[in-house]
Amino acid sequence: MSEHVIPRRVYYAIFSTLIVLTGVTVAVSFVDLGPLNTLVAMTIACVKATLVVLYFMHARYGSRLIWVMLGAGVLWLVILIALTMGDYASRGW
């Protein structure tokens, strides 16, 4: 079984990007964006998670089965979030 060899500079570039995005997250936390604070933070977190899964977990160069399992996990996460938000929205405060 041959594995795809990723150059070290790619890892360093992804790591640097993750550090910069962490700094952006901290910087944005000090800015009052109103209701957009959560949206911006979640967007940055999703980008960081995607980079980690694609490069550090080697999903980018994985087989089709890896992509199916990754898609199933994301689908399950969406279902759980939808059910949680449905419960939260239906409560009478």
Q: Which residues contact 11 (CB under 8 A, 6 or more apart)?
A: 55, 56
With a cut of 80, say whether residue 2 has pLDDT above it: no
**Higher-confidence residue: 60 or 17?**
17
Task: Kindly indicate the confidence band of residue 81, based on its pLDDT and cuts at 50, 70 and 90.
Answer: very high
Q: pLDDT tens across 27-39, in order?
A: 999 999 998 998 9
| Full-model pTM | 0.79
